[in-house]
């Protein structure tokens, strides 16, 4: 009896101890898991941040200079030259210019020399440098009309020579080229009469010596060379108009001009017509005299 009682107590005590041990183990395991869980999260977060930093591409800043399209695109360069040139020519009773590849090659050969002087070749020639695009360079030539006197007329001057060549009615073809000559701080200028502001300059005609034009020996930036055929700015004429006859014929004030000079050879043609008509009346007069008194 005593044995059974002790046996039951021991059994109960053993069972209780086992349960306590199990509960204590579970509690320790749960506590350990809770303590380890923040560390695991922290590890994950650190790993993500480290990975993002390692794979991020480096940040670099580059500066590029955009070249003017009208200078770098041959098709746009040609169309810009013709569009602006023919706009001015139409306003002054002159026909549209046609692009000539022979003139273009000549202009390119000279432009590549980067010399601020005329080539003294067989063509009419306009030069310019420093303009942001080719359209503004041609427009600068055309805008010289503001200084031109159509009544006298002005004839050829350094201030209006680009304009008169641009709209010269006998000129039919043009070819141009542009070269980036860069910038040279040692370039000298002793005369700013032809400077259009902001380093922009232009030159017309066939002058220019080996020392450059007005003390400037090298064009700065984009250098534009245009060749014209037949050449304009021809000095000469007759007793009535003197050396400005051809300017009166070829540089007309507007597209509605209706004066006596309608073409490049109209002056001489008109004189020939007057001469023939005069001879005709003389012959007719003598014929009538012979009929009357014969």
In tens, the pLDDT along 193-247 reads 344 444 555 555 543 333 455 556 899 999 999 999 999 999 876 667 677 889 9
The rounded distance, in Å, linking the Cα atoms of 241 and 191 is 33
pLDDT single digits (tens) 37-87: 544 444 333 333 333 333 344 445 444 456 788 899 999 999 999 999 999
CA pair distance 128, 194, nearest whole angstrom? 10
Q: Tell which CATH architecture fits domain 69-182+217-250.
A: 3-Layer(aba) Sandwich (3.40)
Contact 233, 165 (CB under 8 A): yes
Terminal Cα distance for the chain, rounded: 195
What's the CA gap between 25 and 29, in Å, rounded? 6
Q: Where are the domains of the chain?
A: 69-182+217-250
Instruction: Give yes or no for a contact between 129 and 222, defined as CB atoms under 8 angstroms apart.
Output: yes
Token pair for 99: 């692009």
- CA angle (256 as vertex; 253, 258 as ends), nearest 5: 85
pLDDT at residue 46 in the model: 34
Q: Mean pLDDT across the chain, nearest whole number?
A: 73
For the whole prediction, is pTM greater than 0.85? no
Q: How crowded is residue 257: how many other Cβ atoms within 10 Å of its Cβ?
A: 13
Collapsing DSSP to helix, strand or coil, 204 comes out as strand
Residues across the chain: 294
pLDDT score recorded for residue 201: 56
Q: Report the alpha-carbon distance of residue 94 to residue 240 in Å, rounded.
A: 24
What pLDDT is recorded for position 285? Answer: 61
Q: What is the pLDDT of residue 256?
A: 80
Examine the pLDDT at 118 and tell me if it is beyond 50: yes
Q: What is the DSSP letter of 179?
A: E
* pLDDT, tens only, 96-115: 999 999 999 999 999 999 99
Beta partners for residue 175, in sequence order:
227
* Residue of 166, 154, 75 lying closest to 127 (CA atoms): 166
What proportion of the chain, given as a percentage, has pLDDT over 90?
45
């Amino acid at each position: 009896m005593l044995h059974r009682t002790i046996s039951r107590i021991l059994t109960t005590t053993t069972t209780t101890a086992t349960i306590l041990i199990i509960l204590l183990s579970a509690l320790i395991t749960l506590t350990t898991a809770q303590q380890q869980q923040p560390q695991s999260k922290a590890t994950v977060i650190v790993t993500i941040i480290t990975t993002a930093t390692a794979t991020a591409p480096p940040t670099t800043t580059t500066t590029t200079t955009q070249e003017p399209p009208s200078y770098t695109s041959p098709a746009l360069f040609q169309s810009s030259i013709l569009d602006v040139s023919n706009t001015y020519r139409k306003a002054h009773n002159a026909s549209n210019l046609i692009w000539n590849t022979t003139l273009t090659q000549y202009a390119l050969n000279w432009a590549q020399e980067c010399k601020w002087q005329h080539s003294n070749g067989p063509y009419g020639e306009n030069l310019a440098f420093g303009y942001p695009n080719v359209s503004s360079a041609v427009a600068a030539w055309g805008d010289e009309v503001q200084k031109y006197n159509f009544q006298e007329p002005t004839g050829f001057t350094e201030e209006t020579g680009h304009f008169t060549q641009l709209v010269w009615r006998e000129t039919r073809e043009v070819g141009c080229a542009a070269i980036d000559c860069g910038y040279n701080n040692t370039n000298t200028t002793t005369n700013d009469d032809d400077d259009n502001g902001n380093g922009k300059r232009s030159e017309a005609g066939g002058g220019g010596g080996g020392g450059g034009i007005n003390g400037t020996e090298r064009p700065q930036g984009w250098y534009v060379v245009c060749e014209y055929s037949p050449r304009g700015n021809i000095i000469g004429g007759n007793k009535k108009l003197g050396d400005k006859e051809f300017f009166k014929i070829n540089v007309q004030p507007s597209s509605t001009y209706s004066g006596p000079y309608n073409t490049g050879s109209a002056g001489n043609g008109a004189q020939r017509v007057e001469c023939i008509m005069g001879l005709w009346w003389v012959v007719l007069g003598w014929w009538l005299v012979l009929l009357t008194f014969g």
